[in-house]
Amino acid sequence: MFDLKGEIAIVTGGSKGIGKAIVYALAVAGATVVIADIDEDNGKHICNELSGSGFQAEIVKTDVTDSKSVDSLVHYTVNKYGKVDILVNNAGILGDAPITEISDEDWDRLMRINLTGAFYCCRAAVRHMLEKRKGKIINIASAGGKQGFPLAGVHYCASKGGIMALTRQLALQVSPQGIHVNAVAPGTTETEMIKNRSEEKRQFIINKIPVGRMGRPEDTAAAVLFLASKAGDYITGETIDVNGGLYMD
């Protein structure tokens, strides 16, 4: 049911953290994975590791804020493999400054990576998926896009709320053509994104999580694999929370 043999997947921001775990989950399930990340070195390392174990992955250096870079990523993938079955929009950055300290540039940069980048990737992939009448798009949102969260900035939470709205509306438009669009909303997850948190802030977060630990990248990757596989075939327009019960707080 989770078999992805023969499927072609693009994962943005796949060189580290949650994206890296998603790349592994999809590749081990049998997909050929194209990592689309600005970090080429880590991406190459992941591809070498995966190919050493008999799995398929390659890195295509891509900046999701540049629509030409995104269009050429999808063009390259379709030319080489004939299709794109799965797109995971994972590339993102965190912003946690209070509103009075967010400059115009901070706001624009974060929105361009977290929201505009996902739009560019969806647009490029959907143009192709519509021809095949088949596709799975999975956008990585955040718990901060759904409820107030003390350690995230308004720009970050607005970008992730935008991701969920984009997910629903695109699902409404393209599900009749065989393209499923869903999101996964992780709670705080152990990656480089949160490495600068003080021990006090980490404990503050953990105290809010009923299961008593932060998320692991693999927790989110498992939900993405579910949605990408046949097991998720009757789900579209949905956001799955992966947050250890945070909303029960």
Q: Which residues are catalytic?
A: 156
Query: Does 219 contact ligand NAP by CB under 6 A?
Result: no
Query: Does 64 contact ligand NAP by CB under 6 A?
Result: yes
Interface residue with ligand NAP, options 13, 95, 162, 244 (CB under 6 A): 13
Interface residue with ligand NAP, options 65, 116, 167, 229 (CB under 6 A): 65
CA distance 152 to 208: 15
CB of 64 to ligand NAP, least distance (A): 4
Q: What are the counts of helices (DSSP H) followed by strands (DSSP E) for the chain?
A: 8, 7
Tokens of 227: 């949605």
3-state helix, strand, coil in the chain (%, to 5): 50, 15, 30
Query: Does 232 contact ligand NAP by CB under 6 A?
Result: no
CB of 184 to ligand NAP, least distance (A): 9
Query: Does 193 contact ligand NAP by CB under 6 A?
Result: yes
Q: Tell me whether residue 29 or residue 36 sits nearer to ligand NAP (CB atom).
A: 36
CA distance 103 to 145: 20
Q: Contact, 121 vs 89, CB < 8 A?
A: yes
Q: Tell me whether residue 13 or residue 162 sits nearer to ligand NAP (CB atom).
A: 13
CB of 67 to ligand NAP, least distance (A): 12
Tokens of 131: 């021809």
Q: Contact, 132 vs 177, CB < 8 A?
A: no
Query: Does 116 contact ligand NAP by CB under 6 A?
Result: no
Which residues lie across from 239 on neighbouring strands? 183
Interface stretch with ligand NAP, choices 59-67, 75-83, 101-109, 229-237 (CB under 6 A): 59-67
Query: Does 17 contact ligand NAP by CB under 6 A?
Result: yes
Query: Does 239 contact ligand NAP by CB under 6 A?
Result: no
Q: Contact, 128 vs 83, CB < 8 A?
A: yes
User: What are the phi and psi torsion angles at 95 (to 5°)?
Assistant: -130, 130
Alpha helices in 82-153 (DSSP H): 104-111, 117-132
Interface residue with ligand NAP, options 32, 116, 167, 191 (CB under 6 A): 191
Binding site for ligand NAP (CB under 6 A): 12-13, 15-19, 37-39, 62-65, 90-93, 113, 117, 140, 142, 186, 188-189, 191-194
